[in-house]
Amino acid sequence: MEVYWMAMRIFWTGIFLAFFLFTLQSCGGEKGDRPLTILMSVEARTFDPHFASSTVEWSFLMNIFDALVVRGDDMTVGPGLALKWEVDSSKKVWTFHLRKGVKFTNGEPFGAQSVKFTFERMQNKKLRPRTTVPRRIALDRVEIVNEHTVRIHTKRPVATLPIWLVNAFMLPPKHYGEKSAKEVSGKPVGTGPYKMVKWVKDDFIRMEANENWWKGEVKIKTVLWRPVPEASSRIAEIESGAADIITNISPDQGAMIASEERGNQLKAIHGGRRIYLGIRQNFEVFKLKKVRQALNYAVDFPLIAENVLNGHGSRLATIVNAPNADESIKAYPYNPKKAKQLLAEAGLKDTNGDGVLEYQGKPVAFKLDVPTSRYLKGKEICEAVAANLRAVGLKVEVNPLEWSVYLSRRSKKKFSPLYFHGFSSAFNAELDLGVLRPNLYANLTHWNNPAFIQGYNRLGQTFDAAERKKISYAMQRIIREDAPWVFLWNQYDFYGLSPRVKWFPRADERIYLPSIIMKAKK
């Protein structure tokens, strides 16, 4: 019955869309052709790199801007606007050699002054930027050696500095120096392959090719991005021929797309996003390690994977992605008996026989926040987890939140005692582990383990690969034992593609437009 109603909804949405296809075509594209159209599940809040905080925003920004260092489609780091770099014997001075002849889309030249301005803007306390790059690289200052050479001085050795620079997009000093942050938020200027020419909030973003991009010709001239929160609506649009790439669909929806005879494609990738429930230790009972461990034993993830995720995925064992994960660490098994035992050992009792455990004389009752539209089957996973937790005596209410409300609560640190969240990956052990740093804005667990913090600080200043691996493995074991999260899974990402495009998704969920090929008309 559920499949029937989904199919009917898609059918009628498709009929509706057919009436407006001409309007979409008129949005741009040479000779009346519809532009490449990409449908996302959520909207961007800003196009200022120093205020961006979500993977969706980084996906837009990487097509407008360039950084000194880039992460390629294969997740390896290489030269961007910097041709090469080296670190001195103190491990605190990095020299970057810049590309020559590069210009921003407003005509300003890129050079050492641009680099210095960009990093100083990140440190501008009056501006109050959200970027964490200066703190993560322990930035001291940027020194201009000459027009095409800069030195980045750090307060301490930071072995992963180049990786942190992937999101440090370079800005033109005049454009960003003469305007307020509010003015430039919707008027980005970079050196990247595309220019943003129009943004109608909650409707569409239109990008056009940068004809003077330093890497050469940009093949796809016009791109339209549209936020469409409902997955069924995104599917209807690709079925009707109104879209070329749709994101954030479930495996069963993807199978529906691929089974059609229109030539649409399903692309799936085992991504790096770690999906979990954050356990907030400002909720008194969650300060107890045995309770946090019990939450993990109580969750039947294999059954969730089978019933909710069409058999895709296995339980998260460590928060570090391959190839840096300690493979000897095993995921928490489903063991409700063990969960009940740990809860009893922690002092939780059902004194009145109502089926709800109590701690310090109060029922253990709490909400579980989950954003709608953002994560694959997020609400359905949370409903299943909540049922598991109720089965061991905990009173849980699933609390769905619109993405904008969820982000607002995250920034204000107002989440419920349990919250559903996902961290993307830079495919580096230190960066993967860093999501549990106590001072990270998106880490609301209040978990503060001295051994973990000591290990993290050592890891950041260790350049020897073997020693870094040893430290990382020890930290991964601490996390598994102390259970600051309810570990769920590494999310699979599913995309629908129209017959017009050839593209394979990246493991970091970003859509880099130069990697997309528009097929020639037959």
- Can you give 397-452 as a three-state secondary structure string? EEEEECHHHHHHHHHCCCCCCEEEEEECCCCCHHHHHHHHCCCCCCCCCCCCCHHH
Q: Torsions phi, psi of 251, nearest 5?
A: -60, -35
CATH number where 346 lies: 3.10.105.10
Beta-carbon contacts of residue 334 (< 8 Å; ≥ 6 apart): 297, 298, 299, 300, 301, 302, 303
Same-domain check for residues 394 and 475:
yes
Q: Is residue 483 part of a domain?
A: yes
Same-domain check for residues 144 and 211:
no
Q: Angle, to 10 degrees, between the axis of helix 465-482 and the axis of helix 450-460?
A: 160
Q: Is residue 56 part of a domain?
A: no
Q: Are strands 149-154 and 194-200 parallel, antiparallel or unpaired?
A: unpaired
Question: Structure tokens of 56?
Answer: 């969706």
Q: Is residue 93 part of a domain?
A: yes
Q: Are 395 and 295 in contact (CB under 8 A)?
A: no
Q: Is residue 444 part of a domain?
A: yes
Q: Is residue 200 part of a domain?
A: yes
> Residue 266, exposed/middle/buried by CB under 10 A (0-12, 13-18, 19+)?
middle
Alpha-carbon distance values, 81 to 123, 189, 192, 330 (Å): 21, 15, 10, 41
pLDDT of res. 188: 98
Same-domain check for residues 260 and 281:
no
CATH number where 146 lies: 3.90.76.10
Same-domain check for residues 121 and 200:
no
Structural domain that includes position 352: 271-492
Pairwise CA distance, residues 298 & 319, whole Å: 19
Question: Structure tokens of 40?
Answer: 């996302």
Same-domain check for residues 124 and 214:
no
Q: What is the pTM of this model?
A: 0.80
pLDDT of res. 522: 60
DSSP 446-504: ----HHHHHHHHHHHT---HHHHHHHHHHHHHHHHHH-SEEEEEEEEEEEEE-TTEE--
Q: Considering its fold, how many domains does the chain have in total?
A: 3
Q: Is residue 120 part of a domain?
A: yes
Q: Are 399 and 367 in contact (CB under 8 A)?
A: yes
Pairwise CA distance, residues 80 & 67, whole Å: 6
Pairwise CA distance, residues 290 & 88, whole Å: 47
Same-domain check for residues 244 and 218:
yes
Q: Are 17 and 156 in contact (CB under 8 A)?
A: no
pLDDT of res. 145: 99
Question: Structure tokens of 116?
Answer: 């210095």
Tens-binned pLDDT, residue by residue, of the chain (522 aa):
444 444 444 444 444 444 444 444 444 444 447 999 999 999 999 999 999 988 899 999 999 999 999 999 989 999 999 999 999 999 999 999 999 999 999 999 999 999 999 999 999 999 999 998 999 999 999 999 999 999 999 999 999 999 999 999 999 999 999 999 999 999 999 999 999 999 999 999 999 999 999 999 999 999 999 999 999 999 999 999 999 999 999 888 887 887 667 789 999 998 899 999 999 999 999 999 999 999 999 999 999 999 999 888 889 999 999 899 999 999 999 999 999 999 999 999 999 999 999 999 999 999 999 999 889 899 999 999 999 999 999 999 999 999 999 999 999 999 999 999 999 888 899 999 999 999 888 899 999 999 999 999 999 999 999 999 999 999 999 999 999 999 999 998 999 999 999 999 999 999 999 999 998 776
